[in-house]
């Protein structure tokens, strides 16, 4: 609704769907710019630190000879890479919101003509942009060192974007419910360990204990890593579509809970 004042009277008029859409897009880009401006002086730190752990694992596997075939190399490298893309935005979101909560920034944000979803997407966009370079570097170094086959297609890009969003909703829940940023970091460490070692991201599913094979189906990382490997291998088919849809479902559910079920202004 918009209002104008004429002859001392307030006249209300409805906004068209196009105007609402344009306003939402404009707000989103404004938030992206604001978030980018906040960290523009430390961009080099994010670019250097993001690929550090994934590259360290690749170097370890290379020099220890733990990976014996190109298929094994693709499995570990793709899983290692997708974990960076999933965990990075989730941790960044939870830490940012926990800090905002400490500083009572939500009281200010609640007064702005923005939605919670716009704020989430803007924060995720910036953190994902910082994560992408390290992810691509890890992939290409793994390809050069281990010599596995890899191809890029639209599904690879789609899965990368969806993976970055898949656990952001969980990051929101951690951030707004944490007592401090230190509390958020502890929760992030616990969740990172759980999804890394209890899902077939670095370890093949058949090598996991039987009970973990069932538990791993509750984590979006399972479907993200599998879909990503299939897409990189050019295996476009029913299995890829199924894992993609399940990953999409996790993303929608987490975002729905974050947007609709959480009061950011509560203490």
- pLDDT score for 10: 45
Distances (CA, A) of 83 to 41, 192, 197, 229: 26, 9, 11, 12
Residues facing residue 13 across a β-bridge: 2
What is the Cβ-side half-sphere exposure of residue 37, based on CA atoms within 13 angstroms? 6
pLDDT, tens digit (0-9, with 9 covering 90-100), for 147-195 = 888 888 888 888 988 888 888 888 888 888 888 888 888 988 898 888 8
- pLDDT score for 242: 94
Give the C-alpha separation, 259 to 45, whole Å: 30
The residue with tokens 């203490």 is: 267
Distances (CA, A) of 81 to 140, 163, 201, 212: 11, 11, 10, 22
Q: Which two tokens stand for residue 62?
A: 């290379």
| Three-class SS of 66-135 | CCCCHHHHHHHHHHHHHHHHHHHHHHHHHHHHHHHHHCCHHHHHCCCCCCHHHHHHHHHHHHHHHHHHHH
- What residues in the chain have per-residue pLDDT under 50? 2-6, 10
Give the C-alpha separation, 69 to 148, whole Å: 8
């Amino acid at each position: 609704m918009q209002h104008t004042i004429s002859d001392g009277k307030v006249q209300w008029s409805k906004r068209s769907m196009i105007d609402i859409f344009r306003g939402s897009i404009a707000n989103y880009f404004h938030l992206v710019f604001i978030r980018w401006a906040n960290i523009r002086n430390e961009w080099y730190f994010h670019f250097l630190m993001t690929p550090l752990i994934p590259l360290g694992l690749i170097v370890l596997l290379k020099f220890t000879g733990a990976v014996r075939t190109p298929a094994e190399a693709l499995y570990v490298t793709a899983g290692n890479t997708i974990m960076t893309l999933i965990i990075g935005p989730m941790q960044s979101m939870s830490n940012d919101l926990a800090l905002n909560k400490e500083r009572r920034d939500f009281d200010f944000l609640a007064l702005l003509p923005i939605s919670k979803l716009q704020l989430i997407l803007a924060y995720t966009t910036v953190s994902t942009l910082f994560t992408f370079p390290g992810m691509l570097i890890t992939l290409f170094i793994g390809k050069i060192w281990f010599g596995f086959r890899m191809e890029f297609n639209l599904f690879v890009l789609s899965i990368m974007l969806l993976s970055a969003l898949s656990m952001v909703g969980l990051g929101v829940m951690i951030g707004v419910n944490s007592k401090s940023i230190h509390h958020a970091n502890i929760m992030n460490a616990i969740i990172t360990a759980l999804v890394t070692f209890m899902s077939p991201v670095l370890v093949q599913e058949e090598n996991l204990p039987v009970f973990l094979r069932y538990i791993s189906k509750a984590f979006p990382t399972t479907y993200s890593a599998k879909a990503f490997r299939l897409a990189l291998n050019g295996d476009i088919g029913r299995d890829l579509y199924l894992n993609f849809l399940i990953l999409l479902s996790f993303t929608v559910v987490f975002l729905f809970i974050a947007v609709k079920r959480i009061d950011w202004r509560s203490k």
